[in-house]
Structure 1
C-alpha cells in the first residue's frame, strides 16, 4: 500500500501529539497515574493507534524522553575534555531535574524493573547510544593526550553518570555546578591514579612508610 504525503503528515502529527500528551500528563498527574487511555484522549488519537506504534505507556514515555535527552545534552568538543564533560553533565542534571522529563525518566527507570521489553528498549534506544557517544568523546580526548592511554573508557562513563542517576533515583537534591565540576575533576584525576612503580616510592607509600 502506498502511503500518501498527507497520511504521513497526519501520522507524524499524531505521533508528536501523543508524545507531548504523555509528558504533559506526567507533569500533571505523576508517572504512575498516567494511562494509555488518558494519553489517547489528550492527544486526540485512538488507544488502538497508540498500541500500533508503542507496546506500552513506558515505551511512549521513553521515546519522548530519549528525543529530548539527545538534543539537550550533546557531546560538545572544544578541545578541553574537562570543560566539555562539565557542560554535558550539567545538561543531564538540568534535564532530569525539570518536569516533565525528570518525573518521566524516574517512572521509566522504576517500570523497567518489571517490564523486560521496556528494559531492553531503554538499553538499546537510550543507554547504549549515549554510552557510545560518551566513549567516543573520551577516546578523542585520549588521542589528544588528555586522558591516559590505558584508561577504561566505558568504566569512566559509568563513574561520571553513576552519581547523577543515584541522586535522581533516590530523589536526593540535584548536583549544582560546583558539585558537577568536582565530580568531573575527581573522575579525570582517578584515571591517572594507578599504582606507581616500586622504584618511585610506590611500595613504601602503599605500606604507609616514609
Structure 2
C-alpha cells in the first residue's frame, strides 16, 4: 500500500508511518485519525488517503515497517526448543509498545473492517502461520511429531491460548505461559 517510487516519496511515507505510530501510542487507536496524522506529519490528508484507504490500513503498514518481528524459525533439530524460541520472541514483541498495544487495536479493528482483516491475514498472520506449519512439517518428517498430526490444527492449538490471553483476558504474555502451553500440547502432539 505504501509508495516508495522516489526518495522524497519514501521519506514522506516513512514520516507518515512514524507519526501514525507515535499518535497511536499517545492517543490510542480509537482517537487516532488521519487528520491528526496529516497535521503532525506535515502532509495533506489526501496524500495519506491516496496511500492508505483507512487508519487501520495505515496502522498495519506502520507496524510492519518496524521490521521488528524477528519471528523466523530456527531448525536446531528440536521442535520443542524451536517453537519455544519463536514463541518467546512473539510474546516479547507483543508485550511491549509500540507493537503490542497497537497490534491489539488493529486486531480489534479487523473485526469491523474486512479490508484490514484481509490485509492483516495476508501480510502478517498467514506468513507466520506458514512458517510454523513448515517447521512442524519438517519435525514431523524427522519423527519428532506424530505422522498423523493435523498441522493446521496444531497451529491453532499453539496460537489460540496466546490470542486468548492477549485479546480476551488481557493477562500478561510471559515465557512461563509459553512453557506451560508447550508442555501441555507436546504431551498430546508427540510421536
User: After TM superposition, is the score higher than 0.5?
Assistant: yes
Preserved CA contact (<8 Å) 2:166 2:173: no
Once the two structures are superposed, residues 3-35 of structure 1 have per-residue CA deviations (whole angstroms, 9 ceiling, x without a partner) of: xx9x61111112222221111111111111110
Preserved CA contact (<8 Å) 1:142 1:149: yes
Structure 1 portions without partners, runs of 5+: 194-210
Instruction: Find the counterpart in structure 2 of residue 21 from structure 1.
Output: 19
Q: 1:31 to 1:10 in 2, by over 3 A?
A: same
TM-score normalised by length of structure 1: 0.82
Match runs of 1:53-202 below 5 Å: 53-68=51-66, 71-192=69-190
Q: Provide the rounded CA distance (Å) in 1 between the counterparts of 2:151 and 2:66.
A: 25
Larger CA Rg, structure 1 vs 2: 1
Preserved CA contact (<8 Å) 1:112 1:118: yes
Taking only aligned residues, the RMSD between alpha carbons, in angstroms, comes to 2.0
Q: Provide the rounded CA distance (Å) in 1 between the counterparts of 2:65 and 2:137.
A: 25
Q: Provide the rounded CA distance (Å) in 1 between the counterparts of 2:41 and 2:169.
A: 30
Q: 1:150 to 1:89 in 2, by over 3 A?
A: same
TM-score normalised by length of structure 2: 0.89
| Equivalent in 35, 38, 63 of residue 36 of structure 2 | 38
Preserved CA contact (<8 Å) 2:95 2:173: no
Q: Provide the rounded CA distance (Å) in 1 between the counterparts of 2:83 and 2:20.
A: 31
Q: Provide the rounded CA distance (Å) in 1 between the counterparts of 2:83 and 2:67.
A: 15
Preserved CA contact (<8 Å) 1:164 1:174: no
Q: Provide the rounded CA distance (Å) in 2 between the counterparts of 1:192 and 1:133.
A: 19
Q: Provide the rounded CA distance (Å) in 1 between the counterparts of 2:113 and 2:170.
A: 25
Q: Which moved more, 1:111-120 or 1:62-71?
A: 62-71
